[in-house]
Amino acid sequence: MIREMVMPQLAMGMSEGTIVQWMATEGERIGRDAVLLSIETEKVVTDLPAPYSGYLHICTAAGTTVPVEKRIAQVAETETEYRQLLASPVPIPTDRARPADAHASGPAAEPAPAAAAEPARGRPRASGLARKLAAQRALDLAAIVGTGPGGRIVRRDIEAVAVQAPAPAATPVTAATAPGAQRERARIPLTGMRKAIADRMLRAKTQTAQTYVFFEVDVTRLIAARQTLLAREAELGMRISTTAFHVRALALACREVPICNATIHGTEIVVWEQINIGVAVALPGKTEFESGLVVPVLRDAASKGLVAIERELKDLVARAKAGTLTAADTTDGTVTLSSAVGFMPGNWCVATPLLNQPQVLNFQPGSAIQKPVVVDGEIAVRTMLPCGVTFDHRATDGEPVARFNRRLADFLGHPELMLL
């Protein structure tokens, strides 16, 4: 029997994936559940296992971006069937298959020319992202010591070596030009993570009815509450960040105004029971040309207290910066928290956060600053937090968002309400 593999839909809203690398060669006999290929989608590289044992026929070459449901490979159960597959000008009836975490099925595409891959035997153990970065930097994986689980090579190991061998992500241009002519400083390929960011941001800007709201909240009491928790760091086992307060407040406000915890799919608005908050994490590059962004998801945030939220945040951020996030870590978000902290330290600053499609709301707190305000008719120094909210006017209107903003401000201004 010949079984077919297609590009799986690994996440809600995923429409395509890029094959980073095949771990087996054309015609090689593969074992079920062995890592077969790496796929990059939404800035995360995921290793996928082989769903069957058999002889591999590669239909789509590494480096190719493939729509969901398109055929990428076929697996022949016997060597005779594999030879028949290569010799037959007419597609042989197949049994469709995909990795276990895929969800949908559809019509098969015509096979593309087969592509050879690096032999699997004796290869160093490495994550898909580590292999991709090593290839970009022309690094030999066999010469790198892995610090991941079981000695696996991960992103941080590649970046540690790349200090002496920087990646050719941005190519300086040094050729002489005519006097007075404009000279290029660098040329940056719009590929990989940068392309994923560009595509998503462009879609968010052109395919949604984005509307912006700006306000500030007196967070003097929140800052005092955090100082109390910091004094009990040893007892809690960690330092509670202001981001944990922001996540908790956002989750509770969404619970009270459910339309803000929704996504749009075609002609339907889906309001979700579980509040899964995506937290934007900046990924500074080795040079000013190599920055990135990823949004891991903290699930069911409304059911968790500050300590649990902080623990998960620390884990997600650490794995984001180490390059060890999986597709599951970045999927199923229902609302996003981005941040303008650090844009203008010590100054009032908030931006216009773009929506993280298909979500309908993005909350962006800025840096809290002390400033004079009028309190009960008197001028007092208070700590004020600038806030920005972007919502999709296709899904909701000003009145529900106004209620959301008021509840969000209540929780941020009165942190004791988060304990109820």
Give me the residue spans of the domains in the chain.
Answer: 2-123, 125-167, 209-419
Rounded CA separation 24/410 (Å): 56
φ, ψ for residue 411, nearest 5 deg: -65, -40
Q: What is the pLDDT of residue 42?
A: 65
CA 384 – CA 32 distance, rounded (Å): 57
Q: Do the domains 209-419 and 125-167 match in fold?
A: no
Class of domain 209-419: alpha beta
pTM (predicted TM-score): 0.67
What's the mean pLDDT in 35-59?
84
> How many Å is the Cα radius of gyration of the chain?
25
Assign domain 125-167 to its CATH architecture: Irregular (4.10)
DSSP, res 301: G
Q: Dig out the tokens for 252 from the structure.
A: 């509770």
Peptide linkage before 358 cis (omega within 30 of 0): yes
Confidence band (pLDDT; 50, 70, 90) for 169?
low
* H runs (alpha helix) in 163-287: 192-207, 220-231, 233-236, 242-256
DSSP strand pairing (369-375 vs 378-392): antiparallel
91-95, 268-272, 279-283, 411-415: least confident range: 91-95
Task: Write the CB contacts of 42 (distance below 8 Å, at least 6 apart in sequence).
Answer: 11, 14, 196, 200, 327, 330
pLDDT in tens, 295-341: 999 999 999 999 999 999 999 999 988 888 888 898 899 999 998 77
Contact between residue 68 and residue 17 where contact means Cβ atoms under 8 Å apart: yes
Q: How far is CA 277 from the centre of its chain?
A: 12
2-123 is classed in which CATH architecture? Beta Barrel (2.40)
Sheet bearing 71-76, strands edge to edge: 29-30, 54-58, 71-76, 2-6, 95-97
Q: How many helices (H) and strands (E) does the chain have?
A: 9, 22
pLDDT at 105 over 60: no
- pLDDT band at residue 179 using 50, 70 and 90 as cut-offs: low
> How far, CA to CA in Å, does 389 sit from each of 214, 223, 402?
7, 21, 10
Helix (H) or strand (E) holding 80: helix 79-87
pLDDT tens, residue by residue, 182-203: 888 888 877 777 777 788 888 8
